[in-house]
Amino acid sequence: MKNKVKVGIIGLGAIGAVHADAYRAAPDAEIAAICDIAEARLAALGGKYDVKRRFKDYRDLLKSDLDAVSICVGNKLHRSVALAALKAGKHILLEKPMALNAGEAADIAAAGKKAKKIIQIGMVWRQAETTRVVRDYVQKGFFGNIYHLRAVLIRRRGIPGLGGWFTTKAASGGGPLIDLGVHLFDAAMYVSGLWQPTRVSAMNYAKFGKDLRNYRYVSMWAGPPNYNGVCDVEDYSAGLVRFGKKASLVFEIAWAANTEDVQFIDILGDKGGARIFDGKPLTIFTEHNDLVANVSPLINEGANTFHRQADIFIKACQGKCPPAATAEQGVTLMKLIDAVYASSQGGREVAV
């Protein structure tokens, strides 16, 4: 159909396949080209989605007649591929984390402004229906003043691709903090509306992965391990973020720790609060009719979050709505993550 948004996908690994599935389900999107350095992935995804234009070099894909691209390569390539795509006049849906650090992220944001193209960052947790509902409660004042956030994601043994790009700082930018922390920080700040982190005090630890051959695990995302590879990133990060004198956020984020798996974000206001991403039905903790009360909104989680993310991106490319997560917010997240690393390295509180 003539008015479909023609998209290309660069990087056809775990998440590239998820983007392809989401575009296939989006009525206004057409997967017009794909790219990966791995021939087998090009053939598999090209065959599955009947995509004829297949490239091994993303610069060749960018010469094609496309409106937009999803950038689904490893973190180290985000900046160079994003800059090339924007220069080639494509809108971009850029996977998280936006880049290896805030400096790189700022380069991408500036290039987007110059090219007048849409940049949407892959902050897919925003697309959960619970996230939308709780944000709406916050915006309508039901929670009163939000003064504290708790963001926790602990995996007992969850180091991904040990020895590969995930655990090599030069390729990933860091460990669970940049990989998962970016989702937690984004969701907490998006729901609460607290977008001005000012100071951070944090400690990072590397206790499990650094001794590659002695890392015991049950299963491994992006495995098997490469024992000849590198693991020079943290596996645990904990700290306190200040939002001036107004509010705070405590976080604990781990790929590995000797404790139970646990995951949640608490949003605490003086009139109400909620815990999200804990896998349980939503409860609003509040007061009602002079009583301490729980409110249990009945929510239909509905569509797949990656499908929603792709739908919004396609609509943004058509000029129908803003992108779901902006480059400016991506830069703020990267500044916060940089500050966590700086605080841990320096052994002191630092400005964001």
Could you tell me if residue 317 is left (phi over 0), alpha (psi between -120 and 50 degrees) or otherwise beta? alpha
Q: Is 247 in the site for ligand NAD (CB under 6 A)?
A: no
Q: Which stretch binds ligand NAD (CB under 6 A): 25-33, 36-44, 112-120, 262-270?
A: 36-44
Q: Which of residues 164-183 bind ligand NAD (CB under 6 A)?
A: 179
The residue among 171 and 350 lying less far from ligand NAD, judged by its C-beta, is 171
Exactly one of 96, 117, 150, 308 binds ligand NAD (CB under 6 A); that residue is 96
Q: Which stretch binds ligand NAD (CB under 6 A): 30-38, 112-120, 139-147, 202-210?
A: 30-38
Q: Is 45 in the site for ligand NAD (CB under 6 A)?
A: no
Per-residue interface string for the shown chain with ligand NAD, residues 287-326, x marking contact by CB under 6 A: ----------------------------------------
The residue among 37 and 43 lying less far from ligand NAD, judged by its C-beta, is 37
Neighbours of 348 (CB within 10 A): 9
The residue among 40 and 292 lying less far from ligand NAD, judged by its C-beta, is 40
Q: Is 124 in the site for ligand NAD (CB under 6 A)?
A: yes
CB 182 to ligand NAD: min, Å: 8
SS3 sequence of the chain: CCCCEEEEEECCCHHHHHHHHHHHHCCCEEEEEEECCCHHHHHHHHHHHCCCEEECCHHHHCCCCCCEEEECCCHHHHHHHHHHHHHCCCEEEECCCCCCCHHHHHHHHHHHHHHCCCEEECCHHHHCHHHHHHHHHHHCCCCCCEEEEEEEEECCECCCCCCCHHHCHHHHCCCHHHHHHHHHHHHHHHHHCCCCCCEEEEEEECCCCCCHHHCCCCCCCCCCCCCCCCCCCCCEEEEEEEECCCEEEEEEEECECCCCCEEEEEEEECCEEEEECCCCCCCEEEEECCEEEEECCCCCCCCCHHHHHHHHHHHHHCCCCCCCCCHHHHHHHHHHHHHHHHHHHHCCCEEC
The residue among 25 and 222 lying less far from ligand NAD, judged by its C-beta, is 222
Q: Which stretch binds ligand NAD (CB under 6 A): 69-77, 130-138, 255-263, 268-276?
A: 69-77
Q: Is 20 in the site for ligand NAD (CB under 6 A)?
A: no
CB 279 to ligand NAD: min, Å: 16
The residue among 36 and 67 lying less far from ligand NAD, judged by its C-beta, is 36
The residue among 233 and 247 lying less far from ligand NAD, judged by its C-beta, is 233
CB 29 to ligand NAD: min, Å: 18
Please state the length of the chain: 352
The residue among 243 and 313 lying less far from ligand NAD, judged by its C-beta, is 313
Interface contacts to ligand NAD, rule CB under 6 A: 10-16, 35-38, 41, 58, 72-75, 77, 95-96, 122, 124, 179, 222
